[in-house]
Amino acid sequence: MRKRVHIVADDLTGALDSAATFAARGARVRVACRAEDLPEALASTAEVVAVATGTRDGPEGEAIEVARRVARDLAGRDGLLFKKVDSRLKGHIRAELAELAPSGTPLLVNPAIPRLGRHCLGGAVTGAGVDAPIPVAPRIGRDVSVPDTDTPEDLAAQLPAELGGTVLVGAAGLAEALATRLWPHPVTPPSLHLTCPALLAIGSRDPVTVAQVDALRDVPMLAAPNGTCSRLPDAAQTPILLIRMTPGSEVISAAEAGAAFARTIAEAQARLTPATLFACGGESAAALLADLGIGQLDVLGEALPGVPVARCAGGQEFTLVTKSGGFGATDTLVKLVKLLANN
């Protein structure tokens, strides 16, 4: 009997990225948007349950408390544990692992995502979006060996013959290798028709996302300085609207700007009632769903590599598409808009 997979990610886009590869191979996948939503997700019939702790950018003490809570909820449950980490190793990885996988627990660590151009070489992360090699072991806080990894096949070969007892620590690449091992027979992917009207919420200021937005043509865009936009259009005015968080005249914290942006997008969602909502940036996506009262997502697959698609589990009737700020080719948003326009 196949064991359930439990994925613990420190942000929402990461939880969705890693979970989507299982959905694409036919698994039933549920994502809890916050740690407090995890018990409900665990009570579902999903074969893969992921949780977004929202702890990447906050204080370490808070990350420890949330990881401890998740560890309690998972204690005694049969299954595999996958600690999803940012492939550039941001966040409180060492502290969270100490709660989820105490010292002495066997670990398989590899944050490479070969299909998105991010590799491991000499024990460090290299490749797309990485200015200088990032050593892995110091961020993990344990003496781990990370094999050189260029291809998805390299990652698949690193999985142990017996998965039980080993905690996997990695990003979407390692998740894909695990999904292929557990669901070896490809299935016909579900139909992921992304339809208009569509609202594109760009909360990330990562240079990768900036280039993707700059590549768009003929898409109406509104700026939201410090997360606030005061001139939202009516629903009939545009089938696709992009709202982008920009710096304001005053300097405020990222948390304040993110909360304001979430309120702006929630208001736009209520006014425009989009069939598709695209959220770029993990913190922005999480804050928006919290504002909308959404705690559970059923993951359907990927619209594009690194662009997962989900449906809200419960009352809200729209499709959610997300993307991590630091991922994707320059034409990622161009391709997404074409998908929307052609459906």
pLDDT digits (tens, 9 = 90+) for 226-255: 999 878 876 656 789 999 999 988 988 888
Note the pLDDT tens digit of each residue in 196-222.
899 999 988 888 899 999 999 889 999
In terms of C-beta density within 10 A (0-12 exposed, 13-18 middle, 19 or more buried), how is residue 131 classed?
A: exposed
Q: Rounded to the nearest 10 degrees, what angle do helices 282-291 and 12-23 cross at?
A: 90
| Cα 120 to Cα 128: distance, rounded to the nearest angstrom | 11
54 touches 34 (CB < 8 A): yes
DSSP one-letter string for 88-128: T--S-HHHHHHHHS-TT--EEEE--BGGGTEEEETTEEEET
229 touches 223 (CB < 8 A): yes
Q: When comparing pLDDT for 95 and 343, which is higher?
A: 95
Give the domains, in start order, of the chain with CATH numbers: 5-182 (3.40.50.10840), 198-342 (3.40.980.20)
Residue type, 282: G
Q: What would the two tokens of residue 213 be?
A: 């937005």
Note the pLDDT tens digit of each residue in 119-163.
999 999 999 889 999 999 999 999 999 999 999 999 999 999 999
Note the pLDDT tens digit of each residue in 85-104.
999 999 999 999 999 998 88
Helix (H) or strand (E) holding 296: strand 296-304
pLDDT average, residue stretch 167-178: 96
pLDDT above 70: residue 343: no
Note the pLDDT tens digit of each residue in 9-30.
999 988 998 999 999 899 999 9
